[in-house]
Amino acid sequence: MDRAELVDLAYQKGKELNLSNKSYLCWLEKFFEFECLEDLGSGDITSEALIAKNKRGIAFLKAKQSGIVGGIEEVNWFSPACKEWYS
């Protein structure tokens, strides 16, 4: 195996890191549940300081140059999932 193949083997995990992989989805659910519950405990100080209660917001992503965006599938999964934890 040459160097390029070794690098691909070590770092290219796109086929494993997707929501159709049940073990990744299970990890993702546990990760987000932990993070959400942590914020519910003492609250998210930054959000409480910057965002009015019960106020919706909009976010924009502006790229200054071309690149690769990761995590889109997870964001689409997270949006409805977080309602379950925060309601």
Interior angle at CA 32, CA 29 and CA 34, nearest 5:
105
Report yes or no: 22 and 30 within 8 Å, Cβ to Cβ. Answer: no
- End-to-end CA gap in the chain: 51
Residue 70 per-residue DSSP state? -
Q: What is the pTM of this model?
A: 0.58
Rg (CA), the chain: 17
Q: What is the pLDDT along the chain (87 residues), one digit of tens a residue?
A: 889 888 888 887 777 888 899 999 999 989 888 887 776 666 777 877 877 777 777 778 788 999 888 888 888 888 776 666 554
